[in-house]
C-alpha cells in the first residue's frame, strides 16, 4: 500500500479492526460520481429525466431525493452536458452533501459558511434556503475566492454575499449574528488520499495534522462567537485524525462549558462509525458520542460531523 506508514499506523488505531481492510481498499476505488440537483434552477424529476434521456444510468443515492450517482466512467460525459454547464446539477460527493443536510438551514435565516470555497456546500445551502434570507460565504485565499464566486453565479446563488477574509476574524467582527454556521474546516484531507497519486498525500505528516488542528480550533472559536444564542453550528472535516475532529471540538467545549450542547445526528448509514472516546491518553467529553464518523466505502468518502447548539434565548 503506497500510503505513508505513519498514516496507516494511525488509521489502524482509529478504524475498527473488522472494517480496516475495506477502508484501505476504498482509497484505490474509482467511486461512482455523485451529483446534486440544484433546485434554484430545476426540479429533481426534470433533471433526472433529462440525464436519463441523454443515456446516463442514474441510480438513487439513498441519501436525498436530490442526490444521484452515475458510474465513474461517465464523469467526463456528465461534465459535458448542458445540465452541468447551466448549473442545474453540481458534482459533489455524498459525504460532502451531509453537512448542509445535518445543519438544516431554512429560508429567511441568517447563515454563515466560514470556509466556503469551492462552493458546493454553500450552493447546497442556498438552494435549501430557496434564495431567501442572508447567506454569507467566507474564503481567505484569493484564487479560491473568485472560484467560489463563479460557482455560485453558475448555480444561480448570486444572492450569497462573499467575503475575502480570514475566517478566524469573523467572530470578532460579527458577534452573535448568525442563526446557523457551517464550518467545513480546512484539514489534512486524509479522506482524499489515493495510493495511485502520490501528490494526494505528499504534504501529509503528523506535524501537518497538528498544524491543521491548531487552525481549526481558532476557526471554531470564531464560528462559535458568530453564532446567535439558540443557533446551531455544524463542524466537519474530511480527515480521520482525532486531533482535527473530536480533539478540536473538545477544545471548544472546554472553553465554552455549559453554553454548548452537542446534538444527536440522525443519520442511518451502514458506514457510520462511533466517535473515539480518547486518543493518546486524552479523554474526550462523553457528549462527543453524538458526533458522527463516516467511514469511506465504495461510494462515500470518509467524513466527520458534529452538530452544536448555543444555549440561550
Just list the catalytic residues.
Answer: 238
In this structure, the number of other CB atoms found within 10 A of the CB of residue 131 comes to 15
Residue 48, phi then psi, degrees to nearest 5: -60, -40
Rounded to an integer, what distance in angstroms lies between the CA atom of residue 308 and that of residue 34?
Answer: 27
Cβ 32 vs Cβ 71: under 8 Å: yes
Residue at grid coordinates 462509525: 273
Handedness of CA 266, 268, 269, 270 (dihedral sign): positive
Contact partners, residue 88, CB within 8 Å, separation at least 6: 37, 38, 41, 42, 47, 50, 82
Cβ 61 vs Cβ 20: under 8 Å: no
Rounded to an integer, what distance in angstroms lies between the CA atom of residue 87 and that of residue 90?
Answer: 7
Amino acid at each position: 500500500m503506497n500510503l505513508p506508514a505513519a498514516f496507516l499506523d494511525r488509521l489502524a488505531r482509529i478504524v475498527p479492526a473488522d472494517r480496516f481492510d475495506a477502508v484501505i481498499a476504498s482509497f484505490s476505488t474509482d467511486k461512482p460520481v455523485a451529483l446534486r440537483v440544484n433546485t434554484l434552477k430545476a426540479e429533481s424529476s426534470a433533471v433526472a429525466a433529462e440525464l436519463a434521456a441523454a443515456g446516463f444510468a442514474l441510480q438513487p443515492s439513498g441519501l436525498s431525493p436530490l442526490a444521484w450517482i452515475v458510474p465513474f466512467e461517465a464523469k467526463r460525459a456528465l461534465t459535458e452536458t448542458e445540465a452541468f454547464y447551466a448549473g442545474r446539477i453540481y458534482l459533489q460527493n455524498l459525504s460532502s452533501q451531509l453537512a448542509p443536510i445535518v445543519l438544516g438551514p431554512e429560508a429567511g435565516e441568517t447563515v454563515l459558511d466560514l470556509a466556503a470555497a469551492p462552493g458546493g456546500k454553500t450552493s447546497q445551502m442556498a438552494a435549501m434556503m430557496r434564495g431567501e434570507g442572508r447567506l454569507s460565504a467566507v474564503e481567505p485565499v484569493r484564487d479560491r475566492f473568485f472560484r467560489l464566486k463563479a460557482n455560485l453565479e453558475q448555480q444561480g446563488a448570486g444572492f450569497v454575499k462573499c467575503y475575502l477574509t480570514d475566517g478566524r476574524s469573523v467572530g470578532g467582527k460579527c458577534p452573535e449574528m448568525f442563526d446557523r454556521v457551517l464550518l467545513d474546516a480546512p484539514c489534512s484531507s486524509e479522506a482524499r488520499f489515493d495510493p495511485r497519486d502520490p501528490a494526494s498525500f505528499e504534504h501529509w505528516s503528523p506535524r501537518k495534522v497538528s498544524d491543521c488542528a491548531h487552525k481549526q480550533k481558532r476557526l471554531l472559536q470564531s464560528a462559535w462567537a458568530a453564532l446567535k444564542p439558540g443557533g446551531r453550528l455544524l463542524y466537519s472535516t474530511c480527515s480521520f485524525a482525532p486531533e482535527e475532529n473530536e480533539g478540536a471540538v473538545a477544545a471548544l467545549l472546554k472553553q465554552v462549558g455549559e453554553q454548548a450542547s452537542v446534538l444527536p445526528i440522525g443519520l442511518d448509514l451502514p458506514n457510520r462509525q462511533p466517535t473515539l472516546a480518547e486518543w493518546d491518553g486524552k479523554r474526550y467529553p462523553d457528549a462527543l458520542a453524538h458526533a458522527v464518523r463516516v467511514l469511506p466505502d465504495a461510494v462515500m468518502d470518509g467524513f466527520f460531523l458534529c452538530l452544536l447548539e448555543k444555549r440561550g434565548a
